[in-house]
Amino acid sequence: MTRFVLRRLLLTIPVLIGASLLIYAMVYALPGDPVRALAGDRPLSPAVQAQIRAEFNLDDPFPVQYAKYIWGLLHGDFGQDFSGRPVLEIIGQRLPVTVKLTIVAVFFEALFGIAAGILASLRRNSFFDNLVLISTTLLVSIPVFVLGFLAQFVFGFKLGWFPIAGVADGWVSYLLPGLVLASLSMAYVARLTRTAMLEAFSADYIRTARAKGVGRSRIVMRHAFRNSLIPVVTFIGADIGSLLGGAIVTESVFNLPGLGRAIFDAVRSQQGPVVVGIVTLMVFFYIFFNLVVDVLYAVIDPRIRYD
């Protein structure tokens, strides 16, 4: 067990270094002037350019540049916006909103996804089963921002059930965006649960339980469901990392002042360093959650360790 965890940890290090190197190379080492690329359409005065070159160590050789950049990241230096405000400060301010949104989304994803999956698996090929299959296919096809606008228009604007945008109403303002953000994963969770449950129902231990005279609800919840939960929980865990990326679109549609909205605003005002800083953090989150899930997977399911 310890050996597996250690190996998995060691394997993450090159990925982390590689990912940060990749992002760094994209921004600072691509042909062309990074200072100008980061500045976007606004021309910078030579003095400011020189200052930025010095600040980002662009006159050093590449390995030195990169080492200084990593050193900065490790000390929480994710860069600054054009008014000199550290990106870390923006992150500190915006992160709580994104975390709340992610919590709501994961809640919906797990609740509706698993419930729909179990119900569909209980009566295979029934009306409800087909409804789940069709609606999940539709959910997967509709891009998140289209779904966001649709939900905003119908439930916020026409029906007035939910706030249209912003976070003025506390947790209530997160319900609709959370549902939209969760939609894609919800469809996957429903399908995953359905498949896993169907597989479990045809397993020998279920037949044994039936033969022993165990009640139907106990078979479903205790025997089939608990064994089906492993792939589902793994998916949801790894999904937390990717929800942060999807939050860019959802937060922009619903105008939630989170990390994603900060990226959207930075893209609009062409503040490259802010975009890069926040994306780097999101990539680290993504890698981190994948690591946690892999380790937890091994804890839950002993068979995986022998791989």
C-alpha distance from residue 130 to each of 98, 120, 121 (Å): 34, 8, 10
- Are 176 and 251 in contact by the 8 Å Cβ rule? The answer is no
Position among 116, 186, 253, 293 found at the interface with another protein (CB under 8 A): 253
C-alpha distance from residue 169 to each of 3, 140, 172, 256, 285 (Å): 48, 29, 6, 11, 28
CB of residue 194 to another protein, shortest distance in Å: 14
Position among 51, 93, 130, 137 found at the interface with another protein (CB under 8 A): 137
Per CB under 8 A, which of residues 22..61 are in contact with another protein? 22-23, 26-27, 30, 32, 34, 37-38
- Distance separating alpha carbons of residues 2 and 8, to the nearest angstrom: 10
Q: Which is nearer to another protein, 113 or 241 (CB)?
A: 241
Position among 167, 248, 259, 262 found at the interface with another protein (CB under 8 A): 248
Q: List all residues 6 or more positions away from 68 whose beta carbon is below 8 Å from its beta carbon.
A: 57, 60
Q: Which is nearer to another protein, 166 or 215 (CB)?
A: 166
Instruction: Give the alpha-carbon dihedral of 246, 252, 258, 264, to 10 degrees.
Output: 90
Is residue 203 within the footprint of another protein (CB under 8 A)? no
Position among 88, 95, 230, 267 found at the interface with another protein (CB under 8 A): 267
- Distance separating alpha carbons of residues 145 and 20, to the nearest angstrom: 28
The residues that touch another protein, with contacts defined as CB under 8 A, are 11, 14-16, 18-19, 22-23, 26-27, 30, 32, 34, 37-38, 137-138, 140-146, 149-150, 152-153, 157, 241-242, 245-246, 248-249, 252-253, 263-264, 267-268, 272, 275-276, 279, 282-283, 286-287
